[in-house]
Structure formats: C-alpha cells, structure tokens
Chains A and B, each alone.
Chain A
C-alpha cells in the first residue's frame, strides 16, 4: 500500500517507522528540524517538507496514487482538512484522522473520515476502567455502518457474572464479539460460554444501542 501521513511529530514518526518495512510510506512535515530527524533515521525517501494541506505539496507527494492517508498532526483542524482534501480532490479511498478533542469524533465521521483515533478518549476510557465508574472503552469507530467497537471489563458485582452468553439480554444492534478471560485466553462468545468477573468483553454496537449495552454488561446484580 502507498500511505501518506501528515505530521512527523512523535505519532507520525513512530507510525512511519512501524509501517515502512511493509508499505510505501511518505510523511509530510512542515518543520525542517523534524524533517531532518526523520530523514536521518528512516531515509530521505520517507519524508517530505511542506504543508500537508497545500494541494501543490500533496500533488508532489503523489497523492493521486495514495491508497490511504493518515492525519496525525497535533491539530484536529489540520488533520481534518488534510483528509478532506485528499478525498475530495485526489479521490484517496481511505482516510484516518487523529482527534484530540473527543467531541470532534462524531462530526469527523459525518464528514466522511473513515476512521478516527482519539488518544484522549482511549486514555479517558482506561482511567475510567480503573475507577468504580462502569463504562465502555471505545476501541474503534467503523464509520461505514455507524458502529463502534467497544471494550468492557466485567465488574465483580455485575449481574451477568455466572451467566451464559445465551442468557444475556443485549440490545438490538449490539453483538458480543469476543470474551477474554482473566488468564488472557480469547474465546468466541458461543451460547454456552459463561461470563466471569474480570472477563474482558469486546462488542460491536450501534451508537444508539451503546448506553443500553453498557447497562446490560455492567449493571450490578440487585443486592439481596
């Protein structure tokens, strides 16, 4: 695949480093110091100096043959513009944007960005997981069908502890997809699998069904 990345900050640099062995990667970065740093480490063919949202720069980068663009600058607006121009002007099939402000997630999806990654939401999710708060961690947004991939750790006092998958009452639009037990063994949620405390559950859910799913998976059993 030919992947064009906007932004050679820490995220862009490590992303390029991970991808470069298997893909053709080009990172566009404005700051000459970062450009030199990446060129030195990954090779000068991996990096290009310029404004990633400038159409002439995009053209020089070979945008019209890119299979995927990834906007990972520190600014939501720059990532959005980069992805929107790549799609609208260069017909790039797939665009992924990093988001800092969690509120932008829905909007970016509405505007045609195929996937968004929000570090703020991920970190928030993990913090909340450690607290008595019962929540779903958003792992990924699947834009095409308005679905979310979410993770939840089964609380010890949850009503579903000890129940089998076939006994669970999940909302329409939500599908339990994977059960990972405390030992780290992943299992498919076949009807006879029993849910235990501290299991990690992965589920795909529509955004509308999310709240009901959260309640179904984490609500405490009524105290006798």
Chain B
C-alpha cells in the first residue's frame, strides 16, 4: 500500500516507522521541518514539508495514487479538513483521522469519517490500569 501520513509528531513518526516495517510505501507531511527529527535515520519514505490540508501539498505527495491517508496532527480541525480533502477530492479509499475532542469526534464519525479518539482510548486504558492494580491487591 502507499500511505500518506499528515503530521510528523511522535504519533505520526511512530506510525510511519511501523508501516514501513510492514513493507508499505510511506510519505509523511509536516509544516515544521524539525518535526522530521522524530523519524529514525532508517526511515526511507518521502518527507514532505507542507500543509496537508492544502490540495497542492497533497498533489506533491501524489495523493491521487495513495491507498490510505492518516491525519495525525495535534489539531482536530486541521485533521478533519485534511481527511475530508483526502476522501472527497482525491477519493482515497482508506482515510483515518485523529480527533482529540470526544464531541467533535462523534460529529465527524457521524458524518462518515473514520476517526480515532485518543482521549477516550487513553482514559479507558488508564482506567483499566488502575482498576487492574486495585484487583491485584
């Protein structure tokens, strides 16, 4: 698969590395050049400096031949716009978006986006962690 990831923070960089390990072709976008430092030196995919909500940047990333697109910046609105551009303009089949605000996530999920809400997932994991520790005592 050819996968485009927007946002090269810790999450985006980790995902890019893992996908590459699985044998996928990966391009990663960020508006900050320094963000690419999160990638290991072994990363061989394309690093593209640009705004992933901008169709021009996505064209540079050859979004028209992408099989998947993941929006993983820290900005919910930015992720939601980029994911909708990926889906509606470039017709990318698998589009995933990180949305931190649980309510915003619900709205976008309702509008047909595939969304991941780290806030809910982390809260759940922490809850399990604590309750498990309780149980172990």
Contacts and interface: CB of A to CB of B under 8 A. Distances in A.
B84 A111 contact: yes
A224 to B, nearest CB: 44
A22 interface: no
Contacts of A101: 53-55
B123 interface: no
Nearest to A86: B107
Interface residues of A, number: 21
A103 B101 CA distance: 27
Chain B interface, >50% SS class? helix
A81 interface: yes
B77 A78 contact: yes
A188 to B, nearest CB: 38
Contacts of A56: 103
Interface in A49-76: 53-56, 75-76
Contact of A88 (B77, B78, B107): B107
Given A77-B75, A81-B104, A103 B55 contact: yes
Interface of A: 53-56, 75-78, 80-81, 84-85, 88-89, 101, 103-104, 106-107, 110-111
